[in-house]
Structure 1
């Protein structure tokens, strides 16, 4: 017998709970649970979290199942210019592309150019940035990245030629770099996402944007969670929470990452404390005290309705409380705009998982069909990962024709996905 199986049986017997009753509560087959108890099958963390809650083990059963650990991606090696603090020739590749098409794309200082012209360019590219963010909710990341890279390279050339707004241009370029990192993550390239996130930190530091530099650690914490490394995620989030230069929103988002890391580790109390802390930090009054410059978009998601509830639902699912998770996630999804396909695909997929785990199969099927429509438009690596988990969960319902067909649709949608 495995250590998990022995402890699961001991706690079940102490609570005078039959295997059939436990199976009914966690919506797993009795025979499957029997094989877990006898060590004939290994327990996974999803089952462990559900059993942990039902047997009131307070995370001790979850701790007996090793966390799946994946190697952190190594970011690209900085160039010599990056390491020495100089400005690389960001426009070189863009200019080479233009020359190949006989198009003049090389930037050069203009004698009659003044501060008003620089400000006009700033306004234009901030508006473009907001437009890119909206498009990212409706298009595949590869399409959005093509537009972002051109704008980013142009901005870095403007940093070199500007006479009056260098710092503000560099800050804008940093926001583009951070967004490029997120699109790389959505395209399934966590290595590039980490590289661009660290490039953001470099640019933000040069622009004396301390809050944005701190926020890059929130992004790194998110990437660590995606790579199965909650310990690193907690460490990075703690750095932001302790940074006096970080504004309330960045610290609130750091508390969200901290809560998610605690949830993965099965630490109920710490997770709920972090969620409460995040809710306090993200209160509108706290946010207003350290508001960003007028016209500057907020860091983090601007499309998820009720972000606190979305993250709380995410955490409760990992904590083995799928019914409570579905309540939070359903509320967040209801408040997320219909055109925000990327956000709806990600949190909708987790809502479907929560419905499946709590035995609400009709609700799960309806949500999954909508998620497939949303995910098909935007190609989200995050949503795809959730859908792969849902496909595995649906194997337990092979005797229900509608769910067999649903799983077939899921698998078709995931063909070729990394």
Structure 2
């Protein structure tokens, strides 16, 4: 029995009694057993983050119980780390189809290490490309195709493609005349940024941070300084999936303090800030941030030129984020209402987006006691989960497994358990 559990439990009981709610009634509202709530109130059991957030919302504690639960802040590697200059990351592939993304010391690269790893002959000369514009059009088409592929494929399939394209664009930039370099660099920066997202989807947060850092550096050559702000939004996403609300908010606010950012990037930063506040249980701050995000993302002139920054598949990203936040605020029934409506609006071709928000909807169904709906939807998503092999989707899938196993004797849960075990095992 930890003193932390005792402190949380005592405060939870005091708030419940002050509200005049019996233990049985409180447990019924939370969809937990009376014994489970009692063990947490006495300090005999530590609460899950989901339990803490539902209690905080039910008792109107305004984040007090979340703060008292003492979730440890996680250290998130920032995208603009100075140490990143000391290494180069290389994608290697094996004859059996395996791939790895690993750091190589800059000194080894200069000595020819990269050439050895890649098995390529290094040429010290380049030929000026007379058809640079045509090549750039093809590269843009390839990039758009890679993003489309990323909606239906594992990041292990997509990442080698975008890493290779980033290197190809780097080579092209050395071959074209000075007037064309900014356009090439701009596309190279977007490619590196997307590589960062695919790296995060593969479960490699360090590689995600490294690629985002590369995107910022290349973008500066192109004059796209806004990517430095978006890098903070990307880092906030990493923190969010680590359940670190304070860091999520801090990074999102730093992004919004950047100068001359397009409205779309500011809107995405405000949306991420809202998700951070939801993790902290601050409903009012969350709603204010969502309102700012909605205004900014609706700005018709707010998007920078070039490929879309952030999601291009979700009809109303702020509405979906609102549903996401409601779950983290401990309001799963409200989350169900929003996510169910918005999921139907995401096109079928956006498999990654539909799966991510679909699993979150499963969580909301289960947490609000609608087990049949949660299990039914989960079964529909298992094939897509296996197809995508997404680390961020796995995060919520593990939460779903923990949640539904509280009702292990329920017929729907028993029927779901073998498929859920397989899905989690396949994703391990």
Q: So what's the TM-score if we normalise by structure 2? A: 0.88
Closer/same/farther in 2, CA of residues 361 and 158 from structure 1, 3 Å limit: same
TM-superposition CA deviations, 1:211-246 (whole Å, max 9, x none): 222211111111122233322222221122122311
1:45 and 2:44 matched: no
2:352 and 2:326 map into 1 onto residues whose CA distance is: 21
Corresponding residue SS for 2:427: coil
Q: Which consecutive residues of structure 2, in runs of 5 or more, have no partner in the other structure?
A: 90-108
Judge conservation of contact 1:341–1:375 (CA < 8 Å) in 2.
no
What pairs with 1:59-70 in structure 2 (closer than 5 Å)? Answer: 59-70=63-74
In structure 1, the residue matched to 2:140 is 126
In structure 2, the residue matched to 1:85 is none
1:319 and 2:329 matched: yes
1:307 and 1:196 map into 2 onto residues whose CA distance is: 24
1:406 and 2:416 matched: yes
Q: Which consecutive residues of structure 1, in runs of 5 or more, have no partner in the other structure?
A: 83-87
Deviation of 1:135 after TM superposition, in Å, equals 0.3
Deviation of 1:5 after TM superposition, in Å, equals 1.4
Q: So what's the TM-score if we normalise by structure 1? A: 0.90
In structure 1, the residue matched to 2:168 is 154
Judge conservation of contact 1:303–1:336 (CA < 8 Å) in 2.
yes
What pairs with 1:8-407 in structure 2 (closer than 5 Å)? Answer: 8-73=12-77, 77-79=84-86, 93=114, 97=118, 99=120, 108-110=125-127, 113-114=129-130, 117-163=131-177, 164-283=179-298, 286=299, 288-293=300-305, 296-407=306-417
Judge conservation of contact 1:107–1:158 (CA < 8 Å) in 2.
no
Judge conservation of contact 1:4–1:37 (CA < 8 Å) in 2.
yes
TM-superposition CA deviations, 1:156-186 (whole Å, max 9, x none): 0111111131111111111110011100100
Corresponding residue SS for 2:43: coil
Deviation of 1:33 after TM superposition, in Å, equals 0.5
1:81 and 1:323 map into 2 onto residues whose CA distance is: 47
Corresponding residue SS for 2:84: coil
Root-mean-square deviation (CA, aligned residues, Å) is: 2.3
2:54 and 2:246 map into 1 onto residues whose CA distance is: 22
Closer/same/farther in 2, CA of residues 397 and 320 from structure 1, 3 Å limit: same
Closer/same/farther in 2, CA of residues 94 and 130 from structure 1, 3 Å limit: farther
2:117 and 2:62 map into 1 onto residues whose CA distance is: 60
Deviation of 1:98 after TM superposition, in Å, equals 6.2
1:107 and 1:400 map into 2 onto residues whose CA distance is: 67
Corresponding residue SS for 1:28: coil
Judge conservation of contact 1:305–1:334 (CA < 8 Å) in 2.
no
